[in-house]
Structure 1
Amino acid sequence: MPCALCGDIIPTDVARCPACGAWARRRDFRAIGMAVFMLLGFNAFVALGCGLSLVRLQEPLRLATRDTYDAAVTARALAPYCDVFLVCGVLAGITGLLYLAWLWRAHRQSGPHRYGRAWVLLGWVTPVVNLWLPARIVYDVWLGSGRPLRPAERHAAALVVAAWWSSVLLGAGLARVFTGLGVQSLAEARFCVHVGVAAAACQALAAASCMATVFHITRRQLDGA
């Protein structure tokens, strides 16, 4: 298989790359990070495309009046976006499983940590706790990877993690609200489209911010290896 660091071909029975000396564990961790990074990028593009498409629906609704508005036509136009948000949720779940595999290894290779390794998984499924603990764990892994961060770098890392987790919660909540809204009146249709745009924007921002956490944590751990 090719080395993830230098591209040289490594025999399957060799633990280190003959060209750059990278360990197989290091290669595998970078490979998982790259896979998560690309999947997150795909998530971001899908959400961004959905949001831009919804923005285009705002103009006809802005020009419509009570007399010209057709609720049935608007409902048919918005129905596919409910399916898109469902697909985005499924894709985010698949990406999340791979992200947890990456985070599990990143947590093991960094430290010290305020929370034990079991919370890397339990923090996502424990009620109430899962509203804040995943972000805290990612931030701790970021701080514990590589060299100590300067105060400005710590603040930047905290800002990225906060943007990521806030966008995740808002995006999930707004998408759920969007799928439950009605469009019987013109005002309801306009509000529904605005909520959909906000949900897509939050999901795109969440994916982009998560890409930043994966990139920086993976780079710091590889540089410190």
Structure 2
Amino acid sequence: MLASKNGLSPHHPLPGSVPPPASRGLLIAVVAAFAVAALGDLFAVYTGVRLRTVLDGDMTASDLDAAYSLYERAGRVQVVTSLLCAVLFITWFFLMRRRTELLAPNWFRKGPGWAIGAWFVPVANLWLPYRIASDMWNACALLPTEGRSHRLPMWPVNLWWGLFVGTTLLGRFTAARLDMTDSLAGLNDAVTLYLAVDLLYVAVAGAAVVFVVRLAALERLKTAEGPYWTPVQA
């Protein structure tokens, strides 16, 4: 293992440079926002099923208008809950990026500002936030010691980002299809696709909560106990 002149690992910050563990208030707010967003998505699933039932049955014009109006209302609820979730999550993401840099500054390939900016760069926002999340995750990994390696599983990061990107792209395709439809059959097909998208967004919210909670726990552990991993003796 490489060491600097003062005997510290190059991935270990100077003594006293790591602040106390972050407040859990924002973390709780982020988790709650994802839960609310998931409920909004489930409401959209309910209204989508209701609209499909009307489309597939013997409907009247008033039945169709009522079902479609409720479906559009669910869409507006999703917009509000998603915006709330995005604001809280990106705020947490930025603050966590700043904190984890203190634990392992050499891991990061982008400056802290990219933890916000990366989400707003067209096309590049399909992978830049993932790179930042991966850097934060690796920065929270404990360093090997006693000649033994310690690997930190990446599946929470990969699961969350894979679901998020896949669902986002499917959602854009479905929205375009709904905008172009000019028949009840086309509307039925688009609503069916949206049912899958909304259910996937529920899964995205769950995977995001796993990522957020696990990363916060790793950051707290490394802040409190130091950078080195001590194997548990059997």
**Alpha-carbon distance change, 27 to 83 in structure 1, aligned in 2, over 3 angstroms:** same
Distance 1:196 1:178, change over 3 A: farther
- Cα-Cα RMSD: 2.8
Mapped pair 1:99 → 2:84:
no
CA contact (8 A) 1:135 1:165 kept: no
What's the TM-score, normalizing by structure 1? 0.73
Q: Are positions 1:136 and 2:147 aligned together?
A: no
1: CA distance, partners of 2:64 / 2:193: 15
Verify the 8 A CA contact 1:174 1:196 in the aligned structure 2. Answer: no
Which residue in the other structure is 2:192 paired with? Answer: 194
Deviations 1:80-119 (Å, cap 9, x if unpaired)? 2222222212221122111111111211122421222121
- Count the aligned residue pairs: 195
Match in the other structure for 1:19: none
SS in 1 for 2:137: helix
Kindly state the Cα deviation for residue 136 of structure 1 after the two structures are TM-superposed: 2.4
Query: Residue 71 of structure 2 is aligned with which of 77, 81, 95?
Result: 81
Cα distance in 2, alignment partners of residues 178 and 147 from structure 1: 47
Q: Identify if the C-alpha distance between structure 1 residues 214 and 155 changes in structure 2 by more than 3 Å, giving closer, same or farther.
A: closer
* Alpha-carbon distance, 1:123 to partner: 0.6
> Residue 108 of structure 1 aligns with which residue?
98
Change (3 A) 1:206 1:40: same
In structure 2, the gaps of 5 or more residues are 1-17, 144-149, 224-234
Match of 2:220 in 1: 222
Q: CA deviation at 1:199?
A: 2.7
Q: Distance in 2 between matches of 1:39 and 1:100?
A: 12
Residue 168 of structure 1 contacts residue 206 of structure 1 at CA under 8 Å; is this kept in 2?
no
- Residue matched to 1:124: 119
What is the CA distance between 1:37 and its match in structure 2?
0.7
TM-score norm. by structure 2 comes to 0.71
Alignment-derived partner of residue 51 in structure 1: 45
Is this contact kept in 2: 1:43–1:88, CA < 8 A? Answer: yes
The answer to whether the Cα contact below 8 Å between 2:44 and 2:74 also exists between their aligned partners in 1 is yes
Query: Structure 1's 38 and 59: CA in aligned 2 closer, same or farther, altered over 3 A?
Result: same
Tell me if the contact between 2:33 and 2:85 (Cα under 8 Å) persists in the aligned partners.
yes
Q: Which amino acid aligns with 1:48?
A: L
Q: 2:157, 2:94 → 1: CA distance? A: 19
